[in-house]
């Protein structure tokens, strides 16, 4: 690249970066003079920022680095987030947020199973624009990614659950608040209002006896619209479900589904959706990767209720795999908390924008115009 071309590029990059990072109010007031492109090199149409096409986040990062010398808060290698977070978290936080609660074998199995599914690209497909939108249990989502419930997020960063919820709301994503959170659900309602396209759900453990009706009412009053139930311990009873249903007027989703029989049982008992995940019974000597059961469960009940997937997803390619194998949406848990540990609310936002950009780029490379076009034929198992 000649020195003249390099200067022109930097001028263009600087103009685009200024558009992305300067406050719109400052530009409107005239207090800031926008950078102009060189006359002989027109400023390209390069939309940036959270409202831009998802894949443009990589361009935003490149332009920020080239034009302003700015860097993202941490790596865009999402597979390396856990290791990076482990370096900044104290031991007590690592035990809760990273140690896999004794289920390291299951966590490793999930990663291996996801990686075994390889992408089969399509040709002759117009994929200049990709459509990631989905509609799930009455919620229209800009992308099929949900922030799953993780308790005690204050261990990761002072921004805690409110920071994660604000990052989700800023991108129009659904955030699931845990009953085991550091911040009460009323604090989330006050500190992180939902976006028009987003929603807030509430997650509780399956009760050992009667459900906490007062807690469920508090969550509803705080704006939570859907309830996510962690599965009972092995041998648990369905008896609490009727009381839960009478105390909660919105949709109820059961997580921890790992086999077809339990999925059919959940649907027959009136659950509105399920999450395929290994939250219970994950300490077997040789646990299976949860993604491998997803296609069978989706085939069995996917025409009757939404099927979500929530085990081992770390990257946009993992999201693509889960969608292709039958998931209607993907629940991401610990990765966004790793982002919280590394950068607070901004770290969660960076992690989510990177994840969605990876998914968008994966669709483009694979020749898929819409996530609704995905099916198991998009993958082959190695």
Q: Is 150 annotated as a binding residue?
A: yes
pLDDT (0 to 100) of residue 41? 36
66 contacts 13 by C-beta, under 8 angstroms: yes
The model's pLDDT over 102-130, given as tens digits with 9 standing for 90+, comes to 567 788 889 999 999 999 998 887 778 88
Exposure on the CB side of residue 172, measured as CA atoms within 13 A: 17
pLDDT (0 to 100) of residue 62? 83
pLDDT in 10s for each residue of the chain, 382 residues = 444 434 434 444 444 444 444 333 433 444 433 434 333 333 334 445 555 678 888 888 888 888 788 888 899 999 999 999 999 999 988 888 886 555 677 888 899 999 999 999 988 877 788 899 999 999 999 999 999 999 999 999 999 999 999 999 999 999 999 999 999 999 999 988 876 666 899 999 999 889 999 999 999 999 999 999 998 888 888 999 999 999 999 999 999 999 999 999 999 999 999 999 987 655 566 778 899 999 999 999 999 999 999 999 999 999 999 999 999 999 999 999 999 999 999 999 999 999 999 999 999 999 999 989 999 999 999 9
* Alpha-carbon torsion angle 238, 243, 246, 250, nearest 10: -50
The DSSP H or E segment spanning 200 is: strand 200-204
pLDDT (0 to 100) of residue 50? 52
Tell me the torsion sign for CA atoms 152, 177, 313, 349. Answer: negative
Complete DSSP assignment for 92-161: HHHHHHTSGGG-HHHHHHHHHHHHTEEE---SS---SS-B--EEETTEEESSSEEE---S-GGGT-TTHH
pLDDT (0 to 100) of residue 137? 96
Q: What are phi and psi of 110, to 5 degrees?
A: -60, -45
pLDDT (0 to 100) of residue 68? 81
35 contacts 14 by C-beta, under 8 angstroms: yes
Q: Is 310 annotated as a binding residue?
A: no
pLDDT (0 to 100) of residue 304? 97
Q: Is 152 annotated as a binding residue?
A: no
Question: What CA–CA distance (Å, rounded) separates 278 from 285?
Answer: 14
pLDDT (0 to 100) of residue 54? 83
The DSSP H or E segment spanning 379 is: strand 379-381
Q: Is 111 annotated as a binding residue?
A: no
182 contacts 149 by C-beta, under 8 angstroms: no
User: What contacts 24, CB < 8 A, 6 or more positions away?
Assistant: none
Q: Is 207 annotated as a binding residue?
A: no
Q: Is 334 annotated as a binding residue?
A: yes
Provide CATH code, domain 79-381: 3.20.20.70
Domain-wise residue ranges, the chain: 3-68, 79-381
Question: What CA–CA distance (Å, rounded) separates 297 from 327?
Answer: 10
Coil, helix or strand for 53? coil
Question: What CA–CA distance (Å, rounded) separates 285 from 376?
Answer: 29
């Amino acid at each position: 690249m000649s020195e003249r071309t390099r200067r022109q590029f930097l001028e263009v990059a600087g103009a685009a970066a200024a558009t992305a990072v300067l406050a719109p109010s400052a530009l409107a007031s005239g207090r800031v003079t926008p950078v102009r492109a060189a006359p002989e090199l027109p400023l390209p149409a390069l939309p940036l920022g959270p409202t831009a096409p998802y894949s443009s986040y990589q361009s935003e990062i490149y332009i920020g680095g080239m034009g302003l010398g700015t860097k993202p808060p941490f790596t865009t290698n999402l597979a390396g987030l856990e290791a990076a977070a482990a370096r900044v978290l104290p031991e007590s936080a690592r035990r809760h947020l990273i140690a896999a609660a004794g289920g390291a074998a299951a966590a490793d199995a999930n990663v291996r199973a996801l990686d075994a599914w390889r992408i089969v690209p399509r040709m002759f497909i117009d994929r200049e624009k990709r459509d990631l939108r989905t509609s799930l249990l009455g919620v229209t989502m800009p992308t099929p990614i949900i922030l799953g419930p993780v308790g005690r997020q204050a261990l990761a960063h002072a921004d805690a659950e409110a920071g994660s919820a604000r990052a989700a709301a800023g991108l129009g994503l659904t955030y699931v608040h845990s009953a085991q959170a550091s911040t009460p659900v009323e604090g989330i309602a006050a500190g992180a209002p939902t976006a028009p396209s987003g929603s807030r759900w509430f997650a509780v453990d399956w009760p050992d006896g009667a459900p906490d009706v007062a807690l469920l009412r508090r969550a509803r009053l705080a704006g939570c619209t859907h309830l996510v139930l962690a599965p009972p311990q092995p041998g648990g009873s369905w008896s609490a479900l009727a009381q839960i249903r009478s105390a909660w007027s919105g949709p109820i989703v059961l997580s921890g589904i790992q086999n077809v029989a339990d999925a059919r049982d959940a649907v027959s008992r009136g659950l509105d959706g399920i999450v395929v995940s290994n939250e219970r019974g994950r300490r077997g000597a040789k646990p299976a990767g949860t993604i491998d059961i997803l296609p069978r469960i989706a085939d069995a009940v996917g025409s009757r209720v939404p099927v979500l997937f929530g085990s081992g997803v770390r990257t946009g390619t993992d999201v693509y795999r889960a969608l292709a194998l039958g998931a209607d949406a993907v629940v991401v848990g610990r990765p966004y908390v790793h982002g919280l540990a590394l950068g607070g609310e901004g770290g969660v936002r960076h992690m989510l924008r990177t994840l969605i950009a990876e998914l968008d780029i994966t669709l483009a490379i694979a020749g898929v115009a819409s996530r609704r076009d995905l099916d198991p034929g998009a993958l082959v198992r190695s």
